[in-house]
Structure 1
Amino acid sequence: MKTNIFPAIKLTMITLVFFSGVYTAVIWGVAQLAPNGGKGQVVTVGGKRYYTNIGQTFTQDKYFYSRPSAVGYNSAGSGGSNKGPSNPDYLATVQARIDTFLVHNPGVEKKDIPVELVTASGSGLDPDITSNSALVQVKRIAAIRKVSQQKVEQLIAKNTEAPLLGMFGPEKVNVLKLNIALDELK
């Protein structure tokens, strides 16, 4: 027993020190190299601060819609719904989102709605949508804001970020930044 217990205690102490101190310090140091020192990407509009790396809700038709959130965009409690694709409650929620989207976007067919506009992400706080999800909303926004569809499409193109290193993930558009740029249109 002594031959096993002392090495186990030693290993426990080493991992405790490593993960409580060394690992934490390394992660903190790497975060300091990130924009804004790892404190998130903050933008101030009209005297209010917003975090561009946390999803926001936009329900007015004059704005681009974000990806739905299973946690009501509450960053203190991020998470998915944990309901599977065959769960009747989940299917009813997705169908309600589809119906709502179709009411607010006449002329768009159900098959043309990108799945991310009617399903929540794993964290419930995804700040980005794909450029296709933005483009499907152009007609509604152009009509409400009385600007050309081409101008709105150019705004989307200007705010589209390429995949990481040109190959990881899809093109994406930060919804908050896009809506801020939309408000700045003359």
Structure 2
Amino acid sequence: MKKHILPALKLTVVMIVFFTVIYPLAVWGIAQFAPNSGKGEIIEYNGKKYYSNIGQSFTEDQYFWSRPSAVDYDASGSGGSNRGPSNEEYLAEVQARIDTFLVHNPDIDKSEIPVDLVTASGSGLDPNFSVQAAKVQVKRIANIRGVDEQKLNQLIDEQTEKSLWGIFGPEKINVLKLNIALDELK
């Protein structure tokens, strides 16, 4: 047993150095070659800066609503609610979101509401939602803004990010970019 302790300790020290110093420095160094030095895409709009890779809160009726956040869109406290699907508080929270959505979208049936409009993501900061989440809100936004529904559907199609090579991941839409494009729509 003694002959295994020294190699195990050496391996532990090597792994600690590798995973706490060398690997993070390598990832940081590679990120320096990415756009904006790996800090994500910054969008300036109306004199404000937004990170497109961090979810933003949109709850006004004239905008596409974003995915709910378990951390109130606070990037310093990323995380889910840790409540399971049988938790009564969680179920009440989801039901309240469904009820609110139905009040603001009376033409929509409860079964048409995509899950990503009433449940928070694991990080609580998901900047994207599904194409269905956008399309289910078209009628409300068209009525408020006085825009043709077909024009909004075209905008959704333009903002849809396809899956990688058509097979990896679902199609998605960045809510911030969609709402900026909506504001710029005349």
Is the structural similarity TM-score above 0.5? yes
Alpha-carbon separation, structure 2, partners of 1:18 and 1:138: 51
Which ranges of 4 or more aligned residues in structure 1 deviate by more than 4 Å?
none
Using the alignment, how far apart are the partners of 2:28 and 2:166 within structure 1? Answer: 27
What is aligned with 1:15?
A: 15
The runs of 5 or more residues in structure 2 that have no matched partner are: none
Map 1:113-132 → 2, pairs under 5 A: 113-132=113-132
The alignment's TM-score, normalised by the length of structure 1, stands at 0.95
Flag structure 1 segments of 5+ consecutive residues without an equivalent.
none
Deviations 1:12-70 (A, max 9, x none): 22112211222112211332343322101100011110000000001110000011011
DSSP 3-state at the match of 1:14: helix
Aligned Cα root-mean-square deviation (Å): 1.3
Deviates more, 1:103-112 or 1:159-168: 159-168
Report which stretch shifted further, 120-129 or 33-42: 33-42
C-alpha displacement of 1:71: 0.6
Structure 2 letter corresponding to 1:43: I
Question: What secondary structure does 1:154 align onto?
Answer: helix
Corresponding residue number in structure 2 for 1:104: 104
Greater Cα offset, 33-42 or 145-154 = 33-42
Segment of structure 1 superposing worse, 4-13 or 165-174: 4-13
- 1:2 Cα deviation after fit: 4.9
Shift of the alpha carbon at 1:171?
0.7
When normalised by structure 2's length, the TM-score is 0.95
Aligned match of 2:46: 46
Q: State the alpha-carbon separation in 2 of the partners of residues 158 and 32 from structure 1.
A: 30
What SS class does the counterpart of residue 65 from structure 2 fall into?
A: coil
Deviation track 1:134-186 (CA, whole Å, cap 9, x = no partner) reads 00000000110111001111111110000122211111100000000111111
For residue 44 of structure 1, give the secondary structure of its aligned residue in structure 2.
strand
1:80 aligned partner: 80
CA distance in 2: counterparts of 1:2 and 1:129, whole angstroms: 56
